[in-house]
Structures are given as structure tokens and as C-alpha cells.
């Protein structure tokens, strides 16, 4: 629905405030996420015009990520890959951002897919172009992502979450995640994510995620945790 894509998140409900508090959000962060500051800093659903801003933020956020720096040693190539995924995800009203693109999250709703069939057919050629001889191991990594994702229960899938380095330390990324989860809770749906950085695992656990498995890069040098959050 076109109108939904322009909707700002309204005053946080009591449940949303509780989830934000679990994320360790400060009072200022809760005001930022709930739009208390005259609506200027509210989390909102992103649209096509936000593609550049969301892509830049997530590119910067993952610059030093242990997994994705392994997969894309040339970080500029990683931005191309993120943009490809984000552009496709924008067909759902579940890409979120905050004022100034300080933080962003990319969700795939129940029954959705990260890419369309047409886009999936382009992945191998795109990776060949971006990575050359390295594309094979990255394709194998992506296949491990797909193989690990739960298929038995409908759920929201957190594809990407990040905070721009200029805004780190304010709790905005986890605050955005908490805000998203509060909305998912309203629907009574579970959620799933992969954690590519072990430093983030405890943060996800504070919001109710439980580690349910793991997989590694083809060379065994990096490990990805798979995490599930039951419906509330």
C-alpha cells in the first residue's frame, strides 16, 4: 500500500518501550525511535528514494565485519552487492531507516524472498563480475546461508541491520531492531537472523533471540551464528 511506505512510527506503546529497554536503549534513543522529537527522528519505512542512503549506511556499517570483509576484500564491491539486495527488498514495506540514515534494517516478511526469480538468475554473473575467481567460494557461502534458514514456520527474516559509524555508541541500531521486533510481536510472528559478528550475539540475545545453529565459510575461517526468536 503506497500510504504505508510513508508512515512514520508513532508514539511507542508500552510493549515497544519494554523491548527498547531490553536493547539497552537510552531515554534519548527511545525518543528518537518513537518519534517523540517532533517526528524529526522517527524510524520510518524506506522507499525507493532511500536506496542510496540506506545502501551507504549499510556499506559503512559492514566495512570491518569479519565475515563480509572476508567475502569482499574490496569493500566498494560489497556496496554493490548490498545495493542489489536492498533494491529488491524495497518491494516490501519492511526496509526501515532513521533520520539521516543513521541506522537501517532490511527485513523479508513471512512468505517473501530476498530476491525475485529473475534477480536470482543474475547472482552468479554479478558475483563473477565483482569477485572474479573468488566468486565460487562466495557463492558457496551464500548457499550455506540459504540452507540454514528455517523453512518449517513462517517468520520475519532480518537480512541486514547496521548503524553508520558516525552514529555508533548511541544504541540506534539495536533501538531500531527493538522497534521492528515490537511491531512483529504485534503480529504474533517469530523472527530469524544470522549474526556475522560474534560481538553482536549478546545484543541479539538481550532482545530474545536464541542461538540455534551455526555454519562456516568454505575455508572454515569465519563462523556465522543462526538465531531464532519465538513469537510473543
213: containing domain:
2-229
Mapped onto helix, strand or coil, the DSSP state of residue 169 is: coil
- Regions of the chain where pLDDT drops below 70: 1-41
The cell numbers describing 205, all together, are: 540475545
CATH code, domain carrying 54: 3.40.630.30
DSSP labels for 97-145? E-GGG-EEEEEE-TT--SS-HHHHTTHHHHHHHHHGGGHHHHHHHHHHH
Model pLDDT, residue 172:
95
Please count the structural domains in the chain.
Answer: 1
Q: Which residue has the cell 526469480?
A: 117
Roughly what angle, to the nearest 10 degrees, separates helices 75-89 and 51-61? 130
Residue 85 near residue 127 (C-beta atoms within 8 A): no
Q: How many CB atoms lie within 10 A of CB 215?
A: 16
Model pLDDT, residue 19:
58
Distance, CA of 94 to CA of 46 (rounded, Å): 8
Model pLDDT, residue 42:
80
Beta strands in 164-202 (DSSP E): 191-195
Amino acid at each position: 500500500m503506497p500510504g504505508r511506505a510513508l508512515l512514520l512510527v508513532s508514539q511507542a506503546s508500552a510493549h515497544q518501550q519494554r523491548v527498547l529497554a531490553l536493547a539497552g536503549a537510552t531515554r534519548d534513543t527511545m525518543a528518537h525511535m518513537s518519534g517523540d522529537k517532533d517526528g524529526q527522528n522517527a524510524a520510518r519505512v524506506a522507499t525507493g528514494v532511500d536506496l542510496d542512503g540506506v545502501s551507504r549506511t549499510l556499506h559503512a556499517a559492514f566495512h570491518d565485519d569479519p565475515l563480509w570483509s572476508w567475502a569482499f576484500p574490496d569493500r566498494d564491491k560489497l556496496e554493490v552487492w548490498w545495493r542489489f539486495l536492498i533494491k529488491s527488498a524495497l518491494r516490501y514495506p519492511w526496509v526501515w531507516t532513521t533520520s539521516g540514515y543513521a541506522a537501517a534494517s532490511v527485513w523479508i516478511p513471512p512468505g517473501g524472498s530476498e530476491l525475485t526469480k529473475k534477480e536470482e538468475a543474475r547472482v552468479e554473473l554479478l558475483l563473477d563480475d565483482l569477485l572474479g575467481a573468488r566468486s565460487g567460494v562466495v557463492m558457496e557461502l551464500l548457499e550455506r546461508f540459504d540452507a540454514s534458514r528455517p523453512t518449517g514456520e513462517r517468520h520475519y527474516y532480518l537480512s541486514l541491520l547496521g548503524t553508520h559509524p558516525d552514529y555508533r555508541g548511541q544504541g540506534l541500531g539495536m533501538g531500531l531492531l527493538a522497534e521492528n521486533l515490537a511491531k512483529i510481536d504485534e503480529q504474533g510472528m517469530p523472527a530469524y537472523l544470522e549474526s556475522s559478528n560474534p560481538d553482536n550475539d549478546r545484543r541479539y540475545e538481550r532482545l530474545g533471540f536464541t542461538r540455534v545453529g551455526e555454519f562456516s565459510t568454505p575455508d572454515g575461517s569465519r563462523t556465522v551464528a543462526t538465531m531464532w526468536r519465538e513469537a510473543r
